[in-house]
Amino acid sequence: MITSIIPTVLGLFSYLLSCWGVLFSEALKRNPRTWTCVYAILIILANIQTYGWFVLLTPTVGVLETPLILVGHDLDLANPLLRDMLDSGALASCTDPNALPSFFPSFVVGQAEAGYATMKNKMGFPALFTLMDRTYNVSTAGVVPVFPSQFSEKEVLRYSIVQQGFTADVTCAFEALSSNTTPSLTIKSQKIKGWEDVTFLEMTSDCVDRKGSSTLAYTRGDPNYIFLAVCNGLEGNYSMLNVLLAIMTHPNVEAALIFQGGGRYSFLATTVCEVRPMITRVQVDWVNAGPFNSKLLATGAVPDHGGPAGITAMTALYEKHFSAQAMSTNTVGEELLSSIGKVDPGFHEETILVMMGEYIRGIAEYSGSVLRACLSTQNVISADGVSNELKIPSEGFYHTEFMAWERSTFWLLIPGTLVAMLTVCGVLWEEAHHPVVAPRAVELEPATATRVVSAQVDASLS
């Protein structure tokens, strides 16, 4: 604010001085065209000079990548020891919603927001997402916030670091499933006696397991629902599956999700989405005073079939859909309906499938971040949080902000400088060639007035 006011005042001051000279110039008054042209030139030069002062007084903010290297560690979600601990039940408090004590309810808090953010980004809208009091741009990318230990969190810092992340490669397609297909799919409905306009709905399939699927709903009025069945994808045959166990015994299996929508959400029809959990490498630009940006690196991604992150992602999707269904609406369906309707009011198949994939990916990445935070908590894996054998190194560097002036700044002051020099030269030249002679003071004698009057009288009489 101050750097804007000062240049304006300086430019206005020089402009007023120049205008003062033009207004009292006898030479310019005799030539109106010249007077007008000079005024126009003064206005242009005043604007240039004001901008020059502004640039001179306002330094440029730059970012320097300092050679100071950040070295830290992350929890390695791909470590085989975690799979052994998963088999033994040591990770149940973070991966099983039915375990006691369980941290899994925390997964439900931000799942809807995470999926909605990725859909908004796909639509070209800005999307910010909050997790553990930190703001992310679009998605968490399966990472957790890290901060240099040698600085206070109150200091404004910018730094980039490569961390291990988590995502899901999702491919969706519409399928015509029925009681005669493999897998089979049947929707049963029954009016509830004694309840006014209440219907019980159930989806049955030969691949459904209640522990990994949400296939029951009570609806009032029009049946608006979305059912979810979690299956495996062995050569297109979605056989019986307990999602929490069978994926671990088949490391090459791709998890498949069958969504069935009805009523307001019939645009989903029967959508089958194949989900491939992936452990990734992510470059994250952290700013402790603003949103974090993440960029997925092309190298370093490995499948995570049967790992705790992949299983937790599937379970998080199930928990989200289980809690989304109400008697008249479904929160997941409403989010999809709103998002798809904004970009494609016609609800074309391609748009629906892309948005569904983005929604699943956003929830999967969110679950990876919360799982990482949960497993890093003290007394979950070890008393100190993460044991050394489960750590993976991470590296990065600082971005140091500095203030400086551009090397070309002085060029912006040349017009004003030339005007000042020419003005001074013009005044000196005028003084040298047309010196102003002060009039001499004439003493008036007492008789002078009488003589003047006499002369005037004589002239009038003659």
- Does residue 47 lie in a domain region? yes
The pLDDT tens digits of the residues spanning 105-119 come to 555 555 557 776 777
The pLDDT tens digits of the residues spanning 322-349 come to 778 888 888 888 888 888 888 888 899 9
Same structural domain for residues 47 and 73? no
Torsion angle in degrees (nearest 10) through CA of 247, 276, 373, 385: 50
The rounded percent of the chain whose pLDDT value lies above 90 is: 2
Same structural domain for residues 157 and 290? yes
Q: Which of 351, 386, 402 is the last residue of a domain?
A: 402
DSSP helix, strand, coil percent of the chain (3-state; round to 5) = 40, 25, 30
- Does residue 359 lie in a domain region? yes
Same structural domain for residues 49 and 88? no
Q: What is the pLDDT of residue 98?
A: 63
* Least confident residue range of 23-32, 115-124, 148-157, 166-175: 23-32
Can you list the positions of beta strands (E) in 132-197? Answer: 134-137, 158-174, 186-191
The pLDDT tens digits of the residues spanning 82-107 come to 888 887 877 777 777 666 555 555 55
Cα 448 from Cα 318, distance rounded (Å): 119
The pLDDT tens digits of the residues spanning 41-79 come to 766 766 666 666 666 666 665 555 555 677 778 888 888
- Does residue 315 lie in a domain region? yes
The model carries a pTM of 0.67
Q: What is the pLDDT of residue 193?
A: 82
pLDDT (mean) for 105-134: 66
The pLDDT tens digits of the residues spanning 285-319 come to 777 666 667 777 767 778 887 788 888 888 778 77
Q: Which domain holds residue 46?
A: 2-59+405-435
The pLDDT tens digits of the residues spanning 227-272 come to 888 775 433 333 323 333 333 334 444 567 889 998 899 999 989 8
Same structural domain for residues 139 and 250? yes
Separation of first and last alpha carbons in the chain: 79
- Does residue 442 lie in a domain region? no
Same structural domain for residues 71 and 52? no
Same structural domain for residues 382 and 423? no
Same structural domain for residues 22 and 150? no
- Does residue 460 lie in a domain region? no
Chain centroid, CA 255 distance in Å: 30
The pLDDT tens digits of the residues spanning 385-415 come to 777 788 888 877 776 665 666 565 556 566 6
The pLDDT tens digits of the residues spanning 410-452 come to 565 666 666 666 666 655 665 666 655 555 554 545 544 444 4
- Does residue 455 lie in a domain region? no
- Does residue 461 lie in a domain region? no
